[in-house]
Amino acid sequence: MSKLVELAKVLRSKNAGPLYLTLDIMFDEQQAYERVKNSGALSKKLISRLYHTGEENISIIDYPAARSIKITMPRKVISGSIGDTDIYGAQQHAPLLDVEIE
Amino acid sequence: MKILALNGILGYGYPVKSLENGLKLAPDLIGVDAGSTDPGPYYLGKGKSFTSRAAVKRDIELVLPEALIRGIPFIIGTAGGSGGEPHLKWNREIIEEIAREKGLHFKLALIHSEIGKEYLKGKLKEGKIRPMGPNLNIEEKDIEESVRIVGQMGTQPFINALTLGAEVILAGRSSDAAIFAALPLKEGYNPGLTWHAAKIMECGAMCCVPGTTADSIMAHLEKDYFLLQPLNIKRRCTPTSVAAHTLYEQPDPYYLYESEGMADLSQSKYEQYDDSIVRVSGSSFVPAEKPTIKIEGVVKAGYRTISIAGMRDPIMINEIEEITKAVSKHVKEVFINRISAADYQLLFRLYGKDGVEGENEPCARKAHELGVIIEAVAKTQEMADDVCAVARSTMLHYPYEGRKATAGNLAFPYSPSDIPMGISYKFSIYHLVEPEDPGELFPVEIINI
């Protein structure tokens, strides 16, 4: 078992506009990318649990051209609204760091 | 056609050498994105720039004389960081100051982008305003209460300004890519390739390795492909670095939605052209049946006062959840019949616990030291000050269970401990509107400097 953060070259979050959060997991080796994809670990079910949002809100897109997986979901709190913890949405990747990959 | 992007945001800086290298290649257009909604709603609401005046002036004054001598149009989009009227005015004054100092004379086009409330109310009634996400709805009152509303212009207003002979264009709120796509589209270049190149370049040298928004990039647009060329010898573009950039800040790397339609990147190919240049082909464009304009609006969201403090006592840290609940309850009781609980919000941001991730924080441990921001948001500054003050003093002296450090619970770094932050704003509108004619919303004003 490995942790996702050990396998990924880039593991980041950012706003995609003020209403959405997008997470990118990028690999610099094809083998690591395939391993994570094939493990099925990054499912809507997992993301729904980690980010406390409905599965119907989540999009997970494979992007082989950059050996990447992109996960997008609506922000619970719109950027800059009262109670927002992260205006840019740039530090919301923590829940993904220790995801176990076979 | 050669297009030079100065950097990712006007005011972030770029090496003079990169500009020199770019100018040697004789670009047909120099462009720069000057703004973003990333820094949140405050700047649009307040009419201020999130970029520094000195830095913006520096970025403009290095390139403006060079562009004018060479007859290269220079386009700045989303002036002043947010593209509203005050932002446009602020950025215009900087340009006029540079022109005076350097004895420059040229035709400047200003493109306005604030949208009228009556117009939008009409569009709302016609059912011509669509949401951009599930968590923000629009009603007439949202339009009425908005402090400022801007529309993101597409390429048409830029094309209009270029046709009028503008040498420098200072535009209000713009689609980041439209800044760079306008001239190529005017000249008949392939829209798929044009929009794709424009979308990459608007972030400056972020598509390079090492990537940064504080450096320039050059795009060479051809009939069936485009090249991306770094202008700094320490950077390279690789197929992966360029492809990867399409992921940045986008919900979907395959489809880019613009006012005029959708760029389809699903068949795009990225190839190493030479050691540092990448060749991109295969991008296509699907025009929209009806062009849409993205509109952004903000409302006032209350006055804010904060107090920042540290905690080191482990017994307190262990009970912090109960403590903050008790403090909130006490504040409510203190103000009963004086300030309604409905008129304010009291938040405790706990760094070292879950200040960043909130409910998504996977780590159950708390650190040996916590930072707290006590935050009051209320209808007036005075009310926010009062609520914050009571919360702060209550938390400082709260006699929690098992307490041994009975002289004070909080370590304040400052006197005064409480910091009024002034008015806050929130996004009230982030929607798409269907105009009759996308150009109608963005009047072009020509000024002879």
pLDDT 10s digits, B36-54: 999 999 999 999 999 999 9
Residue-wise pLDDT tens digits, B228-243: 999 999 999 999 999 9
Set of chain B residues whose Cβ sits within 8 Å of the Cβ of A98: 362
Helix (H) or strand (E) holding B423: strand B418-433
Residue range B351-368: mean pLDDT, rounded: 97
Q: What are the CA-CA distances from residue B403 to residues B313, B316, B400, B406 (Å)? A: 9, 7, 6, 6
At B407, list the tokens: 């002289």
Q: Is A19 on the interface with B (CB under 8 A)?
A: yes
Spatial separation of the C-alpha atoms in residues B35 and B315, rounded to whole Å: 46
pLDDT of residue B437: 87
The beta strand positions in B8-95, using DSSP E, are 29-33, 74-77
pLDDT higher than 90, residue A98: yes
pLDDT higher than 90, residue B110: yes
At B328, list the tokens: 């909130």
Residue-wise pLDDT tens digits, B68-83: 999 999 999 999 999 9
pLDDT higher than 90, residue B438: no
Minimal C-alpha gap between A6 and chain B (Å): 17
Residue-wise pLDDT tens digits, A50-65: 999 999 999 999 999 9
pLDDT higher than 90, residue B280: yes
Residue-wise pLDDT tens digits, B399-422: 999 999 999 999 999 999 999 999
Whether omega for the bond prior to residue B210 falls within 30 degrees of 0, making it cis, is: yes
Q: Is A65 on the interface with B (CB under 8 A)?
A: yes
The beta strand positions in B199-275, using DSSP E, are 217-221, 226-230, 255-258, 261-264, 269-272
* Residue of B247, B266, B387 to mutate, interface with A, max A Cβ within 10 Å: B247
User: Is the Cβ–Cβ distance between B236 and B296 less than 8 Å?
Assistant: no
What is the length of chain A? 102
Give the residue from chain A lying closest to B378, CA to CA.
Answer: A82
Residue range B21-25: mean pLDDT, rounded: 98
Report the sign of the C-alpha dihedral through residues B123, B124, B128, B130, in that order: positive
Helix (H) or strand (E) holding B194: helix B191-201
Residue-wise pLDDT tens digits, A19-76: 999 999 999 999 999 999 999 999 999 999 999 999 999 999 999 999 999 999 999 9
* CB–CB contact A24 B247 (8 Å): yes
Give the residue from chain B lying closest to A93, CA to CA.
Answer: B357
* CB–CB contact B426 A75 (8 Å): no
**Percent of chain B scored above 90 by pLDDT?**
98
Name the residue among B433, B443, B440, B441 with its Cα closest to residue B122.
Answer: B433
Spatial separation of the C-alpha atoms in residues A61 and A68, rounded to whole Å: 8
pLDDT higher than 90, residue B333: yes
Taking the alpha carbons at both ends of chain A, their separation in whole angstroms is 5
pLDDT higher than 90, residue A79: yes
pLDDT of residue B266: 96
pLDDT of residue B258: 95
Spatial separation of the C-alpha atoms in residues B314 and B400, rounded to whole Å: 12
Residue range B254-271: mean pLDDT, rounded: 96
**Percent of chain A scored above 90 by pLDDT?**
100
**B192 confidence band (pLDDT: 50, 70, 90):** very high
Q: Is A90 on the interface with B (CB under 8 A)?
A: no
pLDDT of residue B70: 98
pLDDT higher than 90, residue B281: yes
pLDDT of residue B418: 98
Spatial separation of the C-alpha atoms in residues B116 and B377, rounded to whole Å: 29
Q: Is A56 on the interface with B (CB under 8 A)?
A: no
Q: Is A30 on the interface with B (CB under 8 A)?
A: no
* Residue of A9, A14, A19 to mutate, interface with B, max B Cβ within 10 Å: A19
* CB–CB contact A85 B377 (8 Å): no
Taking the alpha carbons at both ends of chain B, their separation in whole angstroms is 28
pLDDT of residue B357: 97
pLDDT of residue B439: 80
* Residue of B9, B36, B38 to mutate, interface with A, max A Cβ within 10 Å: B38
The beta strand positions in B312-443, using DSSP E, are 344-351, 370-378, 418-433
pLDDT of residue B273: 98
Backbone angles phi, psi at B95, to 5 degrees: -65, -40
pLDDT of residue B226: 98
* CB–CB contact B39 A88 (8 Å): yes
